[in-house]
Structure 1
Amino acid sequence: MKASLNTQIFIAVIASLLCGLTLQQIDIDSSVYKKTIFVCGIIGNTFVDLLKMILIPLVFTSITVGVAHLRHHHNMHQIWKTTLVFFLFTSSIAVFLGLGASNLFHLGAGLDIHLFDTELQKFNTQSLTLQEFTSHFFHSLFINPLAAMVHGDILAVVIFALFLGIALIVLAEKAQTILNMTEELLAIIMLIVNWIMKVAPIGIFALLTKLVATQNIALLSTLAKFIVVVIGTTLFHGFVVLPLVLFAITRISPLFFFKGARESLITAFATSSSSATLPVTLRCAETHLKVDKNIAGFVVSLGATVNMDGTALYEAAAALFIANLTGIELNLLQQTIVCITAMLAAIGAPGIPSAGMVTMVMVLQSVGLPAEAIAILLPIDRLLDAVRTVVNVEGDMIGSLVVQKLTKLNQ
């Protein structure tokens, strides 16, 4: 009897941890280590590239069809409003958790910043003020949709898909042919997603093996307190706060949710990308969690672009960590500014190279912290990114369940 995809992925995770830990015991200059990491890199990158290959058409068709099927302006407005309120609510909780944990555990206090001179010397910061970030962000929303698709500007594709979906509602029967074609394209893309998922265990095994094998143990031990607190707080938000919100509003069991969302959460951890994981997330939301495909297409696709609880929490905690490390005490007003800026930065900045690093720099500069200090976080960012991406993706799926429940109650 063939094992289910969930079981195959679980076995791949366990095997990758064992292989990664074994590789850590091997000399990094040996041919075995180099060849294994090289092969894992090719396989893992190919899996991620397969997911990215269908990302843009999936986002475009799922949002267009989702919005068009809402049919009534009032219903669409209700879903849009509920989605944004939920995203803002959970992101606010995440930011306050990040700041609270940093204050409680005094992250960075007692560490000598000179320990990180090598990292600081290698890093060249890219400055971006809040005004520049805002200008870039809004400029990236409304651009040529074909150019957005070519360059992978997901948020711009989302905006155009929203407009197209609304136009299909207004034109109704006059545009039925276009709607039918879009529905058929979405069905084809979801079939391709199912094909890609057949090789997911292999891709996840390769990605996690390389992640575990290439971690710098010495640096991890130096920053152990920061890593443990940030991961612990992020997991608390993901495995306590969000499930409680889900249960309080929908009465859906956290056990049922995690069982249905497992494929997506493991893929998110392996790829460290909400966008790359989107095809899997949509599949889980619609197939396993029984979210209406139109609501899932809208909420999950939008969330993969703008809803980043884990990122917001991390950037708030990292700002206080760097403040303590450099001996700068942030007052209540400055911490409030960090909260607001971290929430804005978590939305992302499409079209800006190295957007994640740029937005982290923006958070630091908002309260006068040295932007160069971000170099300290770069060597451990891959590990932390994997964890916060899991929570980002989880928030999108929980959001779709909450929106479905609230909008049905009010219809």
Structure 2
Amino acid sequence: MSLLKKYGILPWVILAIVFGLIFGQLLPEEISRIFYTYNDIFSQFLSFSIPLIIIGLVVPAIGDLGRGAGKWLGLTAALAYSSTLFAGFLTVVVALLVYPKLIDTSTFSNVTATEETLSAASGYFTIQMPPPFGVMTALILAFVIGIGLSIVPRGVLRRGFLEFREIINALIMRVIIPLLPLHIFGIFLNLSASGEAAQVISTLAVVVVLVLLLEVVILGTQYGIAGAISGKNPLTAVWTMKDAYLTALGTSSSAATIPVTLRQTLKNGVRHPIANFVIPLCATIHLAGSTSKITAFAIAIAFTQHIDVTTGQWIGFVCMLGIVMVAAPGVPGGAIMAAVGILQSMLGFNDQQVALMIATYIALDSFGTATNVTGDGAIALIMNRILGSKLDERESRVAPNQEYVPFDPDAYIEEVKHD
């Protein structure tokens, strides 16, 4: 666990993939079956945990969004959700147009059988862990309870769900994430043993290039719009945010990057009360880069695995993904863990396909996070243009390196009115 904290999960995922590819050709079947058994048990546990993760993350997220900041929060959330939808729909259009020309599905005719070799028949035994309820039931229940918590005053139930969220965050960070590399090792061990690893890696390489190009387009569009609205030079503005981008590349965490994102946003001329509110909020609800990445890999897997998904289903998936991203914890791997439920319920992904999604997502996690936090600066520029005139100019001048402190915009506006 200490090594995981020190180096992050990415090196371990890379090692798991490399070792899986190597040992898939070397290990005897008797030893390989040990890892297949582990994979089956881990998949069962993950399926059991998904509804609990949805409840634990979505309920308090929706409950918190309905409180406190009024119009500030509503407008910021609308901008963040619109940006996320743009990233998702752009990815759908580009992927559906490009993949048929770049990816040869005939080389994947046998990959769909991989799940069978990772089933209980390939391992020594299995342990059944049925989920407490279905994924869609969990989503609907989370929305109902979350909206209810946003309406009623603070009470025991809200505190209970906040504590439950901490339990779920601990489950993700202390159990699922540390055990994930061994699961990925088993996946690529099987792919290598069955001779399918080369096809998978070649296809994923194409998707990686497309995702990186899309993220450049997403950031360019975000800052182009922000520049037009705020009157700032978009190239200068995005260059100012480079420190936040590079920090996110290193941390793979939107939450950990908040102090740097805030500092660079203030350097872009955003007034302190606005930046102090928008940046921490967007670190939770604005995940345009993650949405693009998840969508691109989901379409690639559906395309190569011959999963029949209509355009209407992709539209619904992106809309729901944007909502689910609000609940994603701002920690490495948090977004994909929050999205597993709808990958299964809306797209019909099986455990093998979900495992590939998790592996590929984490391998590029830092780039998606960097796109997320850099885009937060664009939203702050727009909010500064819309709301900046309502704030007292003298109160807003704070040094760019000031530490982040909690801020209540409604109380601030009332204070300005009384002055």
TM surpasses 0.5:
yes
Inter-partner Cα distance in structure 1 for 2:280 and 2:387: 18
2:250 is the alignment partner of 1:285: no
Partner amino acid, structure 2, of 1:103: L
2:135 is the alignment partner of 1:129: yes
2:124 is the alignment partner of 1:143: no
Task: Give the percent of matched residue pairs that are identical in Structure 1 and Structure 2.
Answer: 23
Identify the residue that residue 321 of structure 2 maps to in structure 1: 342
Question: Aligned-pair distance for 1:390?
Answer: 1.2
Identify the residue that residue 399 of structure 1 maps to in structure 2: 379
Q: Is residue 84–residue 291 contact of structure 2 (8 Å, CA) maintained in 1?
A: yes
Summarize the alignment of residues 9-408 of structure 1 with structure 2, pairs less than 5 Å apart: 77-106=70-99, 110=105, 111-112=107-108, 114-115=110-111, 117=114, 121=118, 129-136=135-142, 142-143=158-159, 147=163, 220-238=201-219, 240-286=220-266, 288-349=267-328, 355-372=334-351, 373-408=353-388
Inter-partner Cα distance in structure 2 for 1:352 and 1:301: 13
Deviation by residue 1:353-410 (Cα, 9 ceiling, x = unmatched) = 9753443322323434223202223333233211111111012111111101111357
Inter-partner Cα distance in structure 2 for 1:275 and 1:134: 27
Structure 1 109/299 Cα, relative in aligned 2: closer, same or farther at 3 Å? farther
Q: Is residue 220–residue 380 contact of structure 1 (8 Å, CA) maintained in 2?
A: no
Inter-partner Cα distance in structure 1 for 2:216 and 2:378: 15
Question: What value does the CA root-mean-square deviation take over the aligned residues?
Answer: 4.0
- Please identify, of 288-297 and 141-150, the stretch whose mean Cα deviation from structure 2 is larger: 141-150
Question: Aligned-pair distance for 1:263?
Answer: 0.9
- Please identify, of 105-114 and 257-266, the stretch whose mean Cα deviation from structure 2 is larger: 105-114
Partner amino acid, structure 2, of 1:223: L
Q: TM-score, normalised by structure 2?
A: 0.56
Q: Is residue 284–residue 328 contact of structure 2 (8 Å, CA) maintained in 1?
A: no
Q: Is residue 112–residue 325 contact of structure 1 (8 Å, CA) maintained in 2?
A: yes
Identify the residue that residue 202 of structure 1 maps to in structure 2: none
Question: Aligned-pair distance for 1:328?
Answer: 2.3
Deviation by residue 1:42-84 (Cα, 9 ceiling, x = unmatched) = xxxxxxxxxxxxxxxxxxxxxxxxxxxxxxx9xx644323212
Partner amino acid, structure 1, of 2:263: R
Inter-partner Cα distance in structure 1 for 2:232 and 2:375: 15
Q: Is residue 333–residue 365 contact of structure 2 (8 Å, CA) maintained in 1?
A: no
Inter-partner Cα distance in structure 2 for 1:369 and 1:389: 26
Identify the residue that residue 178 of structure 2 maps to in structure 1: none
Question: Aligned-pair distance for 1:122?
Answer: 9.1
Q: Is residue 266–residue 390 contact of structure 1 (8 Å, CA) maintained in 2?
A: yes
Q: Is residue 248–residue 370 contact of structure 2 (8 Å, CA) maintained in 1?
A: yes
- How many residues were matched structurally? 278
Inter-partner Cα distance in structure 2 for 1:301 and 1:221: 38
Inter-partner Cα distance in structure 2 for 1:392 and 1:129: 26
Q: Is residue 284–residue 330 contact of structure 2 (8 Å, CA) maintained in 1?
A: no
Q: Is residue 109–residue 324 contact of structure 1 (8 Å, CA) maintained in 2?
A: no
User: Secondary structure of the residue that 2:118 maps to in structure 1?
Assistant: helix
Structure 1 354/282 Cα, relative in aligned 2: closer, same or farther at 3 Å? closer
Partner amino acid, structure 2, of 1:296: A
Partner amino acid, structure 1, of 2:381: L
Question: Aligned-pair distance for 1:145?
Answer: 9.9
Question: Aligned-pair distance for 1:270?
Answer: 1.6
Question: Aligned-pair distance for 1:119?
Answer: 12
Inter-partner Cα distance in structure 2 for 1:387 and 1:282: 19
Structure 1 333/380 Cα, relative in aligned 2: closer, same or farther at 3 Å? closer
Question: Aligned-pair distance for 1:262?
Answer: 1.2
User: Secondary structure of the residue that 2:269 maps to in structure 1?
Assistant: coil
User: Secondary structure of the residue that 1:320 maps to in structure 2?
Assistant: helix
Gaps of 5+ in 1: 1-19, 29-72, 155-215
Gaps of 5+ in 2: 1-13, 23-67, 121-125, 151-157, 171-191, 392-419
Inter-partner Cα distance in structure 2 for 1:362 and 1:335: 15
Inter-partner Cα distance in structure 1 for 2:116 and 2:254: 27
Question: Aligned-pair distance for 1:252?
Answer: 1.0
Structure 1 285/273 Cα, relative in aligned 2: closer, same or farther at 3 Å? same
Question: Aligned-pair distance for 1:153?
Answer: 6.7
Inter-partner Cα distance in structure 2 for 1:263 and 1:83: 23
Q: Is residue 262–residue 279 contact of structure 2 (8 Å, CA) maintained in 1?
A: yes
Inter-partner Cα distance in structure 1 for 2:281 and 2:164: 16
Inter-partner Cα distance in structure 1 for 2:201 and 2:231: 39
Q: Is residue 153–residue 351 contact of structure 1 (8 Å, CA) maintained in 2?
A: no
Question: Aligned-pair distance for 1:327?
Answer: 0.9
